[in-house]
Amino acid sequence: MGARSVSGAGELMTRTVAGAVLAATALAAVGWGGLLFAALVALVAALGRWEWGGLVGEPRARRLRHALALPAVVVVTAVVDARYGLAALGLLLLAALAGSARGALHGHSGWRATLAGTLYVGLPAVALVGLRGTPHGLALVLFVFAVVWATDVAAFLAGRAVGGPRLWPAVSPSKTWAGLAGGVAAAAAAGAGVALWQGWSVRGAAAVGAALALVAQAGDLFESHLKRRAGVKDSGRLIPGHGGVLDRVDGLVPVATVVGAAVLVAGLAPSGGGR
């Protein structure tokens, strides 16, 4: 019992330190913006796309091609804008479709998973870099990060402290309804905090934060489903105490995509107080 307790405490410490380093790196890149932030997003996109290929059993050469192609999409987004980034992502998908046609002639399969993986990683990458380039870019990206991080941390702590009924035991046995409630509450508070800083509607930001917490948790469950299908505990082993890159950005992926769609496509950028 004592040995397990010490091991658990050590694992929690490793997880905390690694998380703090990752958060500090992300915040520094967001604050700097420009090509530095794009470079970080490109790196994460490449690593995440590589891990996706491992989860779905993608052939190594195809997996490598798509992992190396995504940073180019991110660079286009950073140098021009998100519309051109989406166009570049579309060209990458068209090239993949052409490859799928050739592969079908040779009896190769799995191209739907290839296209899904490129979209899964590419859309949030374009969204984040595109958001950072808007007039309210710093605040918008920090809003996204604050909501996702608050959801993750509070869900973890509330789930451990309260326990209770499992959220979806067939997919993720450790997640609880108490954790979900804690994550939603924390995300609402995080959204309100950013709103106070920026002079946005506090109620509106809190409501959006709470809704995005549900989106983040859905992303977490989706990645858990992928890992369960692949028969693995983590998407990779790159980050001590956390697993792989996809394990850290599973909630960020859908939230960044949703916020990016709202702001960049529907033009719903908040008014007042932007930086």
Query: What is the predicted pLDDT for the residue at 104?
Result: 52
Q: Is residue 23 part of a domain?
A: no
Q: Is residue 25 part of a domain?
A: no
Q: How far apart are CA 187 and CA 190, in angstroms?
A: 5
Query: What is the predicted pLDDT for the residue at 3?
Result: 46
Q: Where a domain ends, among 118, 133, 148?
A: 133
Q: Is residue 20 part of a domain?
A: no
Q: How far apart are the first and last CA of the chain?
A: 52
Instruction: Please check whether residues 98 and 162 belong to one and the same domain.
Output: no
| Regions of the chain where pLDDT drops below 50 | 1-6, 105, 269, 271-275
Burial class (CB in 10 A: 0-12, 13-18, 19+), 39: middle
Query: What is the predicted pLDDT for the residue at 254?
Result: 98
Instruction: Please check whether residues 125 and 253 belong to one and the same domain.
Output: no
161: CB partners within 8 A, 6+ apart: 178
Instruction: Please check whether residues 129 and 140 belong to one and the same domain.
Output: no
Instruction: Please check whether residues 274 and 141 belong to one and the same domain.
Output: yes
Query: What is the predicted pLDDT for the residue at 270?
Result: 52
Query: What is the predicted pLDDT for the residue at 217?
Result: 96
Instruction: Please check whether residues 96 and 154 belong to one and the same domain.
Output: no
Question: How many separate domains does the chain show?
Answer: 2
Q: Give the Cα-Cα-Cα angle 173, 178, 179 (nearest 5 degrees).
A: 65
Instruction: Please check whether residues 92 and 159 belong to one and the same domain.
Output: no
Q: Is residue 207 part of a domain?
A: yes
Instruction: Please check whether residues 140 and 125 belong to one and the same domain.
Output: no
Q: Is residue 4 part of a domain?
A: no
Instruction: Please check whether residues 212 and 120 belong to one and the same domain.
Output: no
Instruction: Please check whether residues 164 and 258 belong to one and the same domain.
Output: yes
Sign of the C-alpha dihedral computed for residues 76, 82, 88 and 93 taken in this order: positive
Query: What is the predicted pLDDT for the residue at 108?
Result: 56
Query: What is the predicted pLDDT for the residue at 15?
Result: 76
- Contact assessment for residue 132 and residue 37, using Cβ atoms and an 8 Å cutoff: yes
Q: Is residue 179 part of a domain?
A: yes
Instruction: Please check whether residues 151 and 273 belong to one and the same domain.
Output: yes
Query: What is the predicted pLDDT for the residue at 274?
Result: 38
Q: Where a domain ends, among 101, 133, 165?
A: 133
Query: What is the predicted pLDDT for the residue at 268?
Result: 56
Tokens of 230: 């692949």
Q: Is residue 221 part of a domain?
A: yes
CA nearest to 171, candidates 246, 238, 115, 223 = 223
Query: What is the predicted pLDDT for the residue at 194?
Result: 97
Q: Is residue 111 part of a domain?
A: yes
Instruction: Please check whether residues 145 and 275 belong to one and the same domain.
Output: yes
DSSP letter at 167 equals E
Instruction: Please check whether residues 116 and 173 belong to one and the same domain.
Output: no
SS3 content of the chain, % helix, strand, coil (to 5): 80, 5, 20
Q: What domain range includes position 166?
A: 136-275
